[in-house]
Amino acid sequence: MKVVFFGTPYFAVPSLEILLAHKHFEVAAVITQPDKRRRRGNQLIPSAIKKVALARGIPVWQPRSVKKDANTLAQLEKLAADVFVVVAYGQILSPEILAMPRLGCVNVHASLLPQYRGAAPIQWSLYDGVSETGLTTMLMDEGMDTGPMLLKAKTPVELLENADLLARNLSNMGGELLVETLLKLERDRIKPIPQDEERASYARLIQKSDYALDWSRRAIALHNQIRGFYPHCTAQFRGEPLKIMASAPVGDDYWEDLPPSFSVLEHNWPVLYSGGGAIGEVVCIAKHIGPIVQTGDGLLLLQQVQLAGKRAQSGWDFANGAHLQVGEILHNG
């Protein structure tokens, strides 16, 4: 099966690698986003997909606008590919491109469609506190993740799993699901299923304002925000921004959902926490663990933080280094 692969970030790499390793597929070309300049040194950095393709001797095309680049369109037409595979590419494909391959354009999307269509399904699903998510392969149409569904794969979401960890898990699952989808599609063993529009939801692009923490919210809501938008959520500490990179809701409602490493905290809880505290107040500092903050409803342990201009550090190291005191207040981001 002749394949053209469209993809850009690391999330797409396992899908490309499994196609390259599979004897049934010929990856004829890779299309990825143009190289980007990074702040440090202002150097042009290739995408993760470009690095893999070049290492394997696969032609790489990087049009700024794939649907407007006449040369790219001509080359795609000339290849006469059986299928176009799209995994986190980052550009919209035109009807002209969608109609080119014999079997259509197959997308690997990081949600259980029709829920969480759009640009940031992993982040918003964590923000909403889902206990299960997964992947959907679909035949692309002109809409935003609205095409008929092919196959799905599901995975549970752990309480302390952040967007980075979940993305890596889903990216590895995506390669296997993609191969199964393509083989069944070629053999006419899949019946595309239209999406139920009444169940659809949209995972919009994340804005900078989404990173600001509001301590009047529930502890679990703040935790989901922190892990969903990892590693960017911020509060204010002594008048300076403080990134909260990892957290855990603590207390009787959560012990059974937390890993065994929290058993020491649970055992010492009656001594550590006596109750009360203003919103945003550090109500206790657990030795070798970190500070615990009162929220609008429940308590939040700060597991990893980063002061402005400093490296990330554990909550315990932060408490020691900053000489943090019980009773200090963390303000909203």
- Give binding residues for (6S)-5,6,7,8-tetrahydrofolate as ranges: 111-114
Cα three-residue angle 121-127-133, rounded to 5 degrees: 50
Sequential DSSP letters for 248-312: EEESTTTGGGS-GGGHHHHHTHHHH--S---TTBEEEEETTTEEEEE-SBSEEEEEEEEETTS--
Structure tokens at 129: 């506190």
Structure tokens at 203: 């995972």
Token pair 């595979």 is found at 85
Tally the C-alpha atoms within 13 A of residue 21's C-alpha that lie toward its C-beta.
Answer: 10
Strands (DSSP E) contained in the chain are: 2-7, 26-31, 36-37, 44-45, 60-61, 83-87, 105-109, 117-118, 132-139, 149-156, 202-203, 234-237, 240-250, 282-286, 290-294, 299-307, 313-314
Of 89, 119, 121, the closest CA to residue 105 belongs to 89
Residue environment code for 135-171, b if the CB has 16+ CB neighbours within 10 A, otherwise e: bbbbbbbeeebbbbbbbbbeeebebbbbbebbbebbb
Cβ atoms of 303 and 246 closer than 8 Å: yes
Whole-Å CA distances, 276 to 88, 89, 249, 280, 298: 46, 49, 16, 12, 10
Binding-site annotation: residue ranges: 111-114
φ, ψ at 225 (rounded to 5°)? -65, -45
Of 183, 104, 116, the closest CA to residue 144 belongs to 116
